[in-house]
Structure 1
C-alpha cells in the first residue's frame, strides 16, 4: 500500500498485483488542471521540473493534457534534485509564452519559488504548478515570494468549501496537535500526512472486507482492495475515492487554489469523476 509516492510508473508501466496507490497521480492531476491552465491563464506554457522519474512523468502528463486542452508547451527545463542554486537553469528560461509551470517538492520547491521570483520569472509569466511547491510546510520558507501561485493538490489544509466538514475538522485538529509535538512551530497537515493516514485506513477497510487473518488470505485481501469504494468519513476526510480494479490507481477530488496573504484560497474543486484517465495496465482482464 503506497502512502506517498507519485511516480506515475507505479500504476502504469511497473504496475503489479500486489501494489496499490489509494491517492492521485500526475495524469489525473493534469486532466483536472489543464483546462484551467489553458482557458483561464494562457495558451502557451514552459514547464520547469525536477529531473528524475516523478518530475519527468509529471512533465509528460501535463504536456499531453495541455495540448489536449488546446494549449501548447513551448519548452521544458529539467533541474537536478537538491540544487541550492538553480539560477543557471532558470536564467535560461525566456521567450514569448504565457505561463511557467513548476514541478518540484520539498526543499527544491522552496528554492525554485524563491529564485524564480528573484529572477523576475513569476512577474513576467503566470506562475502555476504542482501543489508540492507550496505545501503548508514550505510556506514559511517561501514568504511573500509565492504570492499569487496557483496550484493543484489532492489536499489543502483549509476548512472551507467541501473541506468544511466535521470529519475533516476532526482530522485537521488532531493532525495539528500531533505535528506540533514534532515541530513546535506548529505546521499544518499537508498531502503527505493526509495520504499516509488514508492509506492505512484503506488497508484496514480491505482487511475488514476480506476477513484477513494472515498470509493465506493475501488474494482475498487483494480482491477486496480492487475496486474499493472509500466514502468521505473520519477515515477518509479528504472525500470519496475509488481504487480502480484495473490498475490499482485511486481517483479522488482535486483542489485548485491560489496563495494569497500566505494562505491557501480555494479556486475550484474538481470532482473525482472528472479526473479519470484510461488504465495503462489491466488486472481485470
Structure 2
C-alpha cells in the first residue's frame, strides 16, 4: 500500500484547521486557512461606534474595513501574509472606547487600529497608541487630532474641519451675510467646527453675534434658537452630526428663522435623506469629505466607487442595498482606504512587526496616492509633518429634492501650514 504524502491535507484535517480558526475567534476574511497556518497574520483592529448617537458611522465603518480586508485576502494578502480582523464597539463613549482599544491591542494583539469617526475617542486614544507602540488611523475630523492632541502614531486619511471652512470660503461665504451665530455639540468636534468657523468668518470681516453649545443628543433646541434674532443674524453655524442637525434645522424652520437665516452644517447629514430634512433642508449648506450620489461624482471616480459600494452593500444613492436606509457615504470610504494605507506602508517599508513601526511611519510620511479601487475617493497626499491627508472637499446644497454638488475643491488648494511636526518625536 502506498504511504500517504505528508504534504497533502485531508478533508478531515481541513475541517479541523477551519474549526480551530473559528474557535479562536479570529476572522480571516477571504483567505485560505491552509495559508493561514504558514504565515503569521497581520492583525487589524476595527474600533467603531456600533451603538450610540454615531452608530451610522460605525456600522458603515465596520463594513468598509471588513470589505477591504476581504478583498486584500482574496488577492493574496499583504506581502503574502493574511490579514485578520478584530472588531470592537466603542459605543460613542470615550471611556468604553478606551477600554475596547486596550483590549484590541493588549489581548487581541492587533498590529494596527482603524479608529472611529469620533474625535473625542481618537484624542483619548492617541497617548495609548504611543504608549503601546500601535499605529492608529483616525477619521474623526476635529482639527486637533493632527495637531497638538495627536502624535506620530496617529494618521488621518480624511480631511478635517479646517478644510470644510476653507472650501466654503472659496465658494459661498462671500455671498452670505457677515453676521453669524455659532452652535455646536459640546465635545471636541463641535468646538472644532465653531473655532474654524470663527477663524474664517472673522478673516472675511464677519461679526460673531453669539456662541452656544449643547449636549450630543439634544432633543429641544428651542431654548437655544430663541436667543437668535433673525434681524441681527445672517448665518447659523451648526456643528452637529446626524439627527442633531435634523432637529436643529427643523426647529429653526418651525420658529421661522430660516425665512431670513441660512444654516451651514458642520458635516454632511449622515443617515438622513432629503425627505427627512424636509423644507428646512433647502436652507442648509454642507461641505463634505465625499460625494453621496454616484451621479454627482467625476466620471473618472465612478467605476472605483461602484465596486467599493458593491463590496459594502451601498447603492448609487448612498443607501443600504437591502434596507434602503441612508448610509454614511461621505465618510465610509475613509476606513476602507485606511486598510489600504496599512497595505501601502507595509509594502513600501518592509514592515514585519511593531519593531518596524518607525520604518512604516517614514514610508507613509509624504506619500501620494492616485484614485483607484483602493482609494476610491480620489487622489490624496499624506502630509509628512502632521500625518494629515489632503484630499478633495465638496460643497453641496439641496435643490429640487436632491443633493447637488455645487463645487469640488482639489486637495492641493486646501493647504494650510502644519501646526506640528511629528517627525521630531522619538519612536
The TM-score, its normalising length taken from structure 2, stands at 0.62
CA distances 1:38-76 after superposition (whole Å, capped 9, x unpaired): 312222221221122111122111111122233333322
Structure 1 residue 86 and structure 2 residue 225: aligned? Answer: no
- Higher RCO by CA contacts (8 Å cutoff, separation 6 or greater): 1
Kindly state the Cα deviation for residue 176 of structure 1 after the two structures are TM-superposed.
4.1
Structure 2 contact 179–235 (Cα < 8 Å) conserved: yes
Instruction: Tell me how far 1:172 sits from its aligned partner.
Output: 3.5
**Residue 96 (str. 1) matches residue 226 (str. 2):** no
Question: What is the rounded CA distance, in whole Å, between the counterparts of 1:145 and 1:203 in structure 2?
Answer: 41
Corresponding position of 2:147: 12
Measure how far apart 1:177 and its partner are. 4.2
Conserved 8 A contact 1:41-1:99: yes
- Aligned partner of 2:137 in structure 1 is 2
Native 8 Å contact 2:273 2:326 kept in 1 = no
- Structure 1 residue 24: deviation in Å? 0.7
The residue that corresponds to 2:175 in the other structure is: 40
Partner of 1:169: 306
Q: Does 1:281 align with 2:423?
A: no
* Superposition misfits of 4+ residues, deviation over 6 angstroms: none
How far is the alpha carbon of 1:175 from its aligned partner? 3.7
Aligned twin of 2:323: 184
Bigger mean CA offset, 139-148 vs 235-244: 139-148
Partners of 2:313 and 2:263 lie apart in 1 by 29
CA contact (8 A) 2:171 2:407 kept: no
Gaps of 5+ in 2: 1-135
Match of 2:249 in 1: 113
Contact residue 19 and residue 248 of structure 1 kept, 8 A: yes
1:194 and 1:238 in contact (8 A); partners too: yes
Note the residue ranges of structure 1 that are not aligned, 5 or more in a row. none
State the distance in 1 between where 2:254 and 2:167 align: 30
TM-score by length of structure 1 reads 0.90
Larger CA deviation: 57-66 vs 172-181: 172-181
Instruction: Tell me how far 1:116 sits from its aligned partner.
Output: 1.6
CA distance, structure 2, for counterparts of residue 52 and residue 233 of structure 1: 35
2-side partners of 1:45 and 1:36: how far apart?
A: 17
Who is 1:227 aligned against? 366
Where does 1:44-63 land on structure 2 (aligned, <5 Å)? 44-63=179-198
Mark the CA change 1:54 to 1:189 in structure 2 (over 3 Å): closer, same or farther: closer
Q: Quick check: 1:271 aligned with 2:406?
A: no
Q: CA RMSD in A?
A: 2.2
2:203 corresponds to 1:64: no
Q: Deviations over 1:64-94 (max 9, x none)?
A: 1122233333322222221111111111112
Offset at 1:250?
A: 1.0
Is 1:34–1:62's contact at 8 Å kept on the other side of the alignment? no
Matched, 1:202 2:338: no
Match of 2:208, SS state, is strand
Alpha-carbon distance between aligned partners in 2 of 1:74 and 1:199, rounded to the nearest angstrom:
40
Q: Which has the larger radius of gyration?
A: 2
- Residues 68 and 93 from structure 1, CA distance in 2 versus in 1: closer, same or farther, beyond 3 angstroms? same
Residue 139 (structure 1) shift: 4.2
Moved more, 33-42 or 18-27: 33-42
Q: Deviations over 1:159-207 (max 9, x none)?
A: 22526532123224444448636x6134244223121112222222112
